[in-house]
Chain A
Amino acid sequence: MNKEAKIEQRHLESHKSTALPAGAAAPDFSLKSTPDQTVSLGEFRGQPVVLAFYPADWSPVCGDQMSLYNEMLAEFHELGADFLGISVDGAWCHAAFSRDRKLHFPLLADFEPKGAVARLYGVYREADGTTERALFVINAKGVIHWSYVSPVGVNPGADGILSALEELQNRQEVK
């Protein structure tokens, strides 16, 4: 590799967010939500859906983040949206985590091939083998309306999601 290519590569590596931006079509997928059930993004066509990638079950910040969204589900539903959590953990791990935290939304297992869906959305962390802490709000037509990548150690909270969902709702009312 010549010098310029190396600089270019370093630039690409340091240019952090490769997450799919607003306006991009949300890639469809089908993943296990429990050991014997699968969830496809296509099932949610016709309504907004929130896709929350998080690095791992059980790690403290994720726990807080998912617990927060669990408490916010009523607000998401009021805004017409469904909510999906997604990480590279397997379905059995998700089942235990979900039971422990009493989560009322599906956790999808981006487990085999590992991180395939995260790669499609541009939020796989090659070096860590986990996903970014990334949020996508997808509109009723399956287009990404808003996306956000948080520093891995920082809980991004619910505010950005709520604002994006409110925008979608207002837009619908205007029509």
Chain B
Amino acid sequence: MKRETSSIPPNALTLPVAKRDHIQGPIDAPIMLVEYGDYECPYCGEAYPIIKAIQERLGDRLCFAFRNFPLVNSHPHAQHAAEAAEAAGAQGKFWEMHDLLFENQEALDDEDIAEYASTLGLDVRRLIDEVLAGAHTARVREDFRSGARGGVNGTPTLFINGVRHEGGPDALLAALIERGL
């Protein structure tokens, strides 16, 4: 069958937020915000406090999920940082590590990561072993693929209730208000 020059499918979240995800807030909240991000990406670093402020403002009306989209050729530490956050998640402290990584974007080599794990009271040896063994590589790749199939072309990309947010993080609150959320 021949096809005409066709359109790109709509930019919608391909993988619904589910148990696999790291979320903050009730999963049945009226507003679901999903970020595809990279811990070494400066624009994600800029989005980080903006999202925090929105979370504070909206409270239980917002559920926030973070998925990995490391651009590893541009950001040499992004892959290990993503896997370290997942490894911290395996010890129950995903968000604590997520926050520390974004708050220390300039220091993300393996030694820095070990230090953050120690600061958080994690089993440092286990975390580093998991990162070096690639225990969370597949999970990070799954996040990445789901993004690439859903219109994530760079970072950060945000989805509001499954629909890609076209403005930058600065315009996020306005977009939520405009949509009556």
Which residues of A line the B interface, CB within 8 A? 17, 19, 21-23, 64-65, 67-68, 70-72, 75, 101-104, 146-150, 155-160, 162-163
A155 touches B154 (CB 8 A): yes
Taking A22-B2, A159-B9 as known contacts, 7 extra A-B pairs with beta carbons closer than 8 A to each other, sorted by chain A number, are A22-B4, A68-B71, A68-B153, A148-B5, A148-B8, A157-B148, A162-B148
Partner of B73, one of A17, A22, A67: A67
Chain A nearest CB, measured from B142 CB (Å): 12
Q: Give complex CA distance A25, B145 in Å.
A: 31
Cβ of B149 under 8 Å from chain A: yes
Which residues of A are found within 8 Å of B152, using beta-carbon distances? 157
Cβ of B72 under 8 Å from chain A: yes
With A22-B2, A64-B153 as contacts: A159 and B8 at CB distance below 8 Å? yes
B71 touches A162 (CB 8 A): no
Which residues of A are found within 8 Å of B74, using beta-carbon distances? 67, 101-102
Partner of A71, one of B3, B9, B71, B151: B71
B154 touches A71 (CB 8 A): no
Q: Give complex CA distance A91, B149 in Å.
A: 32
B6 touches A75 (CB 8 A): no
- For A143, the closest partner residue in chain B by CB is B2
Which residues of B are found within 8 Å of A72, using beta-carbon distances? 148
Which residues of B are found within 8 Å of A64, using beta-carbon distances? 153-154
With A64-B154, A68-B154, A146-B3 as contacts: A156 and B8 at CB distance below 8 Å? yes
- For B141, the closest partner residue in chain A by CB is A74
Chain B nearest CB, measured from A155 CB (Å): 4
Which residues of B line the A interface, CB within 8 A? 2-9, 11, 71-74, 144-145, 148-154
A159 touches B149 (CB 8 A): yes
B2 touches A148 (CB 8 A): no
B6 touches A103 (CB 8 A): no
A22 touches B3 (CB 8 A): yes
- For A72, the closest partner residue in chain B by CB is B148
- For A158, the closest partner residue in chain B by CB is B148
Partner of B2, one of A23, A65, A104, A159: A23
For the complex of A and B, list the 6 residue pairs with the smallest distance between their C-beta atoms, beginning with the closest: A23-B2, A155-B153, A102-B73, A157-B153, A64-B154, A22-B3
- For A104, the closest partner residue in chain B by CB is B73
With A71-B72, A72-B148, A159-B9 as contacts: A65 and B4 at CB distance below 8 Å? no
B148 touches A68 (CB 8 A): yes
Which residues of A are found within 8 Å of B151, using beta-carbon distances? 157, 159
Most buried by B among A72, A101, A103, A157: A157
Which residues of A are found within 8 Å of B2, using beta-carbon distances? 21-23
Q: Give complex CA distance A158, B150 in Å.
A: 9
Q: Give complex CA distance A73, B71 in Å.
A: 12
Which residues of B are found within 8 Å of A150, using beta-carbon distances? 8
Q: Give complex CA distance A104, B11 in Å.
A: 27
Chain A nearest CB, measured from B129 CB (Å): 25
B6 touches A148 (CB 8 A): yes
9 chain-A/chain-B pairs, Cβ below 8 angstroms: A23-B2, A68-B154, A71-B71, A72-B148, A146-B6, A156-B8, A156-B153, A159-B8, A159-B9
Which residues of B are found within 8 Å of A101, using beta-carbon distances? 73-74
